[in-house]
């Protein structure tokens, strides 16, 4: 069944390739996404045993990432039907095929227990997303695409070097060379410590650049700013989570090695705080609201890294934040895409009074801003509170203090952009647009906003149990 789960989106990509009509091709996306989501929910409670050889298995960490990706993709797929109906001036064949192929690769990444196969899956997501960033086909989008490809490719090449060092450490220790996670964990204490240390550094830098940790984040503002909203949502909530899952696998190895975990945790905390600091600086008075969302993504991958670096109870918060950040970013990117289409601009010089011009999209963008800044009653408040309270409980007062300072600066910076954008009246000389709020373009992000509210008020026991099981794999005691 796990293989079918990976093949289903590929079959959808083939159907999208042979459908000749630009109007009907986007329907393939929800036709694949909805059964994919139903299968994800089923597998979350009824995961089959590992494949022969142990390369493929859906453990609790994979289930958490899979559920987030599948929910986000389904919402984006339904949204795409309404969005692409407005974009009939260009072919959507490459977009549909790329999205479905990327879904297949992301699904495979959640199941990989072999670090080499995981690297292939993550690299495939990088390649399939590149032409989607170029969807608008202008000079800025091609520049963003090249920057994305260049930096992510360098990062993923560094991760490959890390894997080679990891395999070589087994050779030096006179063990059978392997990249199977269970075998590496079992022999981690016997591996050559020098090569193991080098491997962890290269893997952290490589997957950290894919994740967008500062100062390796420079592809994000351009890629998120120029890509269509639904592509930005999947970059922020899908690809980032796959890269974070790869870092979680490396974290598991560090735990097993014993000696490397302190170094790895300190490196994660340092990179996390640097990411939050970068975001706080660049979000202040950011006129381009899509670039603002890119820096918000940098901030939240920093929060994830800090949660992982703190360990213990913060791991539960980090895993919950992985899901909260992905879903909330979906609301923000999809609603910002509607605003961008209606105004024909993404800068606050022209975009004002969105609540008047696009009441639903403006309202969703405002609600998403409140949620992503960690305000109650939305679920990011719970996950961020869990992480920062764990910092103080463990006596990491400097980390907790800086965390709160950067959160405050980010809140003020985002408010200075978002509030003028949604409040007031639209400029009098603004050109009329046919783009209006429609059920298919506001319904999906609205449903996702309700889910974020629901998770904040009444998180289901089944989800909490899954998060505890995931944290237990990282040796947490939530």
Q: Looking at 266-280, 395-409, 444-458, 462-476, which range is the least confident one?
A: 462-476
Please answer whether residues 166 and 234 qualify as being in contact, where contact means their C-beta atoms are separated by less than 8 angstroms: no
Determine the straight-line distance between the first and last CA of the chain, rounded to whole angstroms.
Answer: 32
* Two structure tokens written together for 434: 């046919």
Please answer whether residues 173 and 130 qualify as being in contact, where contact means their C-beta atoms are separated by less than 8 angstroms: no
Measured CA to CA, the distance from residue 218 to residue 221 in angstroms comes to 7
Q: What is the pLDDT of residues 226-272, one digit of tens each?
A: 999 999 999 999 999 999 999 999 999 989 888 788 889 999 999 99
Q: What is the pLDDT of residues 21-66, one digit of tens each?
A: 899 999 999 999 999 999 999 998 888 888 888 899 999 999 999 9
Q: Which is higher by pLDDT, 12 or 173? A: 12
Mean pLDDT is highest, among 170-174, 282-286, 410-414, for 410-414
Strand partners, 180: 114
Greatest Cα-to-Cα distance within the chain, rounded to the nearest angstrom: 75
* Percent residues over pLDDT 70 in the chain: 99
Predicted local distance difference test score (pLDDT) of residue 426: 86
pLDDT, mean over the chain: 91
Q: What is the pLDDT of residues 56-113, one digit of tens each?
A: 999 999 999 999 999 999 999 999 999 999 888 889 999 999 999 999 999 999 999 9
In this prediction the pTM is: 0.95
Measured CA to CA, the distance from residue 135 to residue 142 in angstroms comes to 9
Q: Looking at 198-207, 262-271, 469-478, which range is the least confident one?
A: 469-478
- Give burial (CB, 10 Å; 0-12/13-18/19+) of 266: exposed
For residue 478, pLDDT over 70 is answered with no
Measured CA to CA, the distance from residue 349 to residue 343 in angstroms comes to 11
For residue 444, pLDDT over 80 is answered with yes
Q: What is the mean pLDDT of residues 437-458?
A: 94
Please answer whether residues 321 and 304 qualify as being in contact, where contact means their C-beta atoms are separated by less than 8 angstroms: yes
* Two structure tokens written together for 387: 């992480």
Q: How would residue 476 be classed by pLDDT, with cut points 50, 70 and 90?
A: very low
Of 268, 292, 295, residue with least CA distance to 279? 295
Q: What is the mean pLDDT of residues 156-185?
A: 90
Predicted local distance difference test score (pLDDT) of residue 307: 95
Q: What is the pLDDT of residues 360-380, one digit of tens each?
A: 999 999 999 999 999 999 999
Predicted local distance difference test score (pLDDT) of residue 348: 85
* Two structure tokens written together for 379: 């679920």
Report the b/e string of 391-401 with b at 16+ CB within 10 A.
Answer: beeeebeebbe
3-state secondary structure at position 92: coil
Measured CA to CA, the distance from residue 285 to residue 369 in angstroms comes to 15
* Two structure tokens written together for 249: 């696998």
* Neighbouring residues of 85: CB distance < 8 A, sequence distance ≥ 6: 23, 26, 440
Please answer whether residues 9 and 16 qualify as being in contact, where contact means their C-beta atoms are separated by less than 8 angstroms: no
Please answer whether residues 426 and 348 qualify as being in contact, where contact means their C-beta atoms are separated by less than 8 angstroms: no
Q: Looking at 191-195, 289-293, 428-432, 450-454, which range is the least confident one?
A: 428-432
Predicted local distance difference test score (pLDDT) of residue 477: 45
Whether the link from the prior residue into 215 is cis, omega within 30° of 0, is yes
Q: What is the mean pLDDT of residues 284-288?
A: 83
Q: Alpha carbon of 422 to those of 247, 320, 333, 354, 425: distances in Å?
A: 37, 29, 15, 4, 9
Strand partners, 56: 112
Predicted local distance difference test score (pLDDT) of residue 54: 87
Q: How would residue 429 be classed by pLDDT, with cut points 50, 70 and 90?
A: confident
CB neighbours of residue 48 within 10 Å = 11
Please answer whether residues 169 and 261 qualify as being in contact, where contact means their C-beta atoms are separated by less than 8 angstroms: no
* Neighbouring residues of 138: CB distance < 8 A, sequence distance ≥ 6: 226
């Amino acid at each position: 069944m796990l293989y079918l789960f990976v093949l289903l989106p590929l079959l959808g990509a083939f159907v999208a390739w042979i459908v000749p009509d630009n109007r009907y091709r986007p329907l393939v996306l929800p036709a694949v996404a909805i059964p994919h989501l139903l299968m994800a929910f089923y597998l979350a409670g009824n995961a089959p045993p590992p494949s022969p050889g142990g390369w493929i298995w859906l453990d609790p960490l994979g289930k958490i990432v899979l559920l987030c990706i599948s929910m986000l993709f389904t919402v984006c797929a339904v949204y795409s039907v309404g969005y692409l109906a407005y974009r009939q001036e260009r072919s959507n064949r490459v977009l549909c095929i790329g999205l479905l192929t990327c879904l297949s690769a992301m699904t495979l990444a959640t199941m990989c227990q072999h670090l080499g196969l995981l690297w292939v899956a993550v690299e495939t997501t990088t390649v399939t997303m590149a032409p989607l960033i170029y969807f608008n086909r202008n000079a800025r989008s091609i520049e963003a695409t090249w920057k994305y490809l260049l930096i992510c490719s360098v990062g993923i090449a560094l991760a490959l070097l890390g894997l080679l060092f990891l395999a070589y450490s087994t050779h030096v220790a006179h063990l059978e060379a392997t990249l199977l996670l269970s075998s590496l964990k079992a022999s981690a204490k016997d591996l050559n410590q020098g090569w193991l240390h080098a491997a962890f550094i290269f893997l952290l830098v490589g997957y950290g650049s894919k994740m967008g940790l500062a100062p390796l984040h420079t592809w994000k503002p351009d890629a998120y700013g120029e890509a269509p909203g639904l592509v930005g949502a999947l970059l922020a909530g899908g690809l980032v989570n796959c890269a974070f899952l790869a870092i979680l696998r490396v974290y598991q190895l560090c735990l097993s090695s014993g000696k490397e975990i302190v170094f790895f945790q300190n490196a994660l905390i340092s990179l996390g705080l640097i990411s939050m600091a970068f975001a706080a600086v660049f979000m202040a008075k950011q006129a381009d609201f899509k670039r603002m969302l890119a820096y918000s993504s940098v901030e939240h991958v920093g929060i994830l890294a800090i949660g992982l670096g703190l360990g213990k109870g913060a791991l539960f918060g980090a895993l919950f934040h992985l899901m909260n950040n992905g879903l909330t970013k979906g609301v923000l990117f999809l609603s910002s895409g509607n605003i961008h289409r209606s105004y024909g601009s993404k800068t606050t010089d022209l975009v004002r009074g969105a609540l008047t011009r696009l009441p639903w999209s403006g309202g969703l963008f405002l609600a998403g801003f409140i949620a992503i800044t960690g305000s109650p009653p939305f679920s990011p408040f719970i996950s961020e509170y869990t992480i920062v309270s764990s910092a103080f409980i463990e006596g990491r007062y400097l980390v907790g203090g800086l965390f709160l300072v950067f959160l405050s600066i980010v809140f003020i910076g985002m408010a200075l952009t978002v509030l003028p954008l949604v409040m007031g009246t639209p400029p009098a000389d603004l050109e009329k647009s046919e783009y209006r709020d429609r059920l298919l373009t506001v319904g999906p992000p609205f449903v996702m906003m309700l889910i974020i509210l629901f998770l904040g008020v009444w998180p289901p026991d089944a989800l909490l149990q899954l998060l505890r099981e995931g944290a237990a794999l990282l040796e947490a005691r939530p």
